[in-house]
Amino acid sequence: MSPSRIPFDSLCLAAALAEAQALVGGRVQKVVQPDPLSFALEVYGAGQAQWLHVSCDPEFARFWIGTDKPKGLIPLPQPGGGPRRPGIVGGRLT
């Protein structure tokens, strides 16, 4: 089953940003890449760990927050050949 398009307007954006505010100030504990077009950050804050999932898919770009670790992980590129993981892990979301 392929993903379906969901209308995304300013109300949806406001709701998503309000939900993401709970992660502000949290510490990034882990970065994983479930597939070539997405990544997830494990963020610890307010006494619990949550996952911020981000998809950069050109047709279905999105982000969401959950407590389950992403499935089907692929190895992340080595530093210098892709995202600078060492600068992210241990940092705080602002």
Whether pLDDT at 93 is above 80? yes
Structure tokens at 15: 């709701």
In a domain, 84, yes or no: no
Which pLDDT value is given to residue 1?
61
Tell me if 62 sits within 8 A of 44, measured CB to CB: no
CA 34, distance to chain mean position in Å, is 10
Task: Give the DSSP H/E element, type plus range, for residue 85.
Answer: helix 85-88
Average pLDDT along the chain: 83
In a domain, 60, yes or no: yes
In a domain, 5, yes or no: no
In a domain, 52, yes or no: yes
In a domain, 12, yes or no: no
Chain segment 63-90, per-residue pLDDT in tens = 889 999 888 777 666 555 555 556 788 8
Q: In sequence order, which residues have a C-beta less than 8 Å from that of residue 93 and are 6 or more positions away?
A: 23, 24, 25, 26, 28, 41, 43, 45, 52
pLDDT band at 2 (very low <50, low <70, confident <90, very high): low
In a domain, 71, yes or no: yes
In a domain, 67, yes or no: yes
In a domain, 36, yes or no: yes
Q: Which domain holds residue 55?
A: 25-76
Which pLDDT value is given to residue 50?
95
- Report the distance separating Cα 5 and Cα 58, nearest Å: 12
Q: How many domains does the chain have?
A: 1
Tell me if 33 sits within 8 A of 76, measured CB to CB: yes
Whether pLDDT at 43 is above 90? yes
